[in-house]
Amino acid sequence: MNKIKITAFACRPDEAPSFERLEKELHVEVTHVQGSLSLATVDAAKGSDGVTFLGNCDMSAPVLERLAAMGIKYAASRSAGYNNVDIDAAKRLGIHVSNARYSPDCVADFSLMLALMVNRRVMVALRRNVCNDYSFPGIMGQEMKNMTVGVMGTGRIGKSVVRDYSGFGCRILAYDIYQDDEVKRHATYVDMDTLLQESDIISLHMPLNEQTQHIINAQSIAKMKDGVKIINAARGELIDTDALIAALKSRKVGGAGLDVVEGELGIYHTDRRLLGVDNDRIAILKALDNVVMTGHMAFYTDQAVDDMVYCGLNSLVQFVNTGTADCEVTR
């Protein structure tokens, strides 16, 4: 039996142990490409049965057309988000696309950590400590049990976030077009306006699409409580960054914990010490004392990385053998 041939783009060193183990377990032959998938690198996939890639890869129509011209019908993302893929073009070209499903606890844990850091003014305290300032003014926080937390999006990650917050004894509101019975054990589903108006902390766990892009904007922020905290470890484009910056400066928004931000592609996951960061919004957010920022790392645990590599490879095996995959994107 011939091995399924796969070209893996944007391979990171931390993925290597998982690739090595899974290539044997799944009986596949993988060509590793460190560079991202793009028009400049796509020809490396010649002769493959399918490709696997990450969220920083270019899966626009021209790249997909080139894959189709090479006879490649299957593409598996090792990331959960697939907004970098032109799904309409893929369907037109007959290319099946899948995304990754990994342990939801990695992002859930991180989101809760961001909320705690913002809520207890940890970054302000740490900056003061550098110059031996251990004073109290300006760093008073709030206790979670006295707060209302609104979770927007209750899929696998959002459901885990609701579960985690329930341990603090706080009131939890949830919003999703699809309601989940397990979530109802800990949270109350409400309409979006109610969640915006009554939440002290709002945590975003929605996919990015035409309906959710800039779902947090000047109009939605105006409906929120004064001093609300906003947590985003999903996709940067869920938030209108200019509106958020204005609200943070005015203190309408009391704080933000941001693992993702608009315009991060090409900046996050790279070493920019000598290159600088050509993104004014990121620079402004980093300078604000009521913001905690990290570089799109909420997913980054040993378990999640292994899950992502498995999904990428196993989906391609399923595609080749059956024409479909458990994680296929079907919208």
Based on the domain organization, do 285 and 225 belong to the same domain? yes
Q: How far apart are CA 261 and CA 240, in angstroms?
A: 9
Tokens of 139: 């760093």
25 catalytically annotated: no
Based on the domain organization, do 51 and 65 belong to the same domain? yes
Quote the pLDDT of residue 110: 98
The CATH number covering residue 28 comes to 3.40.50.720
Quote the pLDDT of residue 1: 62
Q: Residue 61 in contact with residue 78, Cβ under 8 Å? A: no
328 catalytically annotated: no
pLDDT along the chain (331 residues), means of 10: 92 97 97 95 97 96 98 96 94 97 96 98 94 94 97 97 97 97 98 98 95 97 98 97 98 98 92 92 95 97 97 98 96 72
Q: Quote the number of domains for the chain.
A: 2
Q: How far apart are CA 271 and CA 282, in angstroms?
A: 15
Quote the pLDDT of residue 81: 87
Based on the domain organization, do 225 and 130 belong to the same domain? yes
Q: Which of 264, 272, 281, 328 is catalytic?
A: 264
DSSP label at residue 234: S
32 catalytically annotated: no
Based on the domain organization, do 145 and 159 belong to the same domain? yes
Quote the pLDDT of residue 331: 72
Q: How far apart are CA 220 and CA 222, in angstroms?
A: 5
Based on the domain organization, do 221 and 188 belong to the same domain? yes
Q: Which of 15, 235, 237, 262 is catalytic?
A: 235
Domain span at residue 13 reads 4-102+302-322
In a domain, 246, yes or no: yes
In a domain, 329, yes or no: no
Quote the pLDDT of residue 135: 95
Quote the pLDDT of residue 6: 98
Quote the pLDDT of residue 295: 97
Q: Residue 295 in contact with residue 268, Cβ under 8 Å? A: yes
Quote the pLDDT of residue 34: 87
- What is the spatial order of strands in the sheet that 148-152 belongs to? 188-189, 171-175, 148-152, 201-204, 228-232, 253-258, 291-293
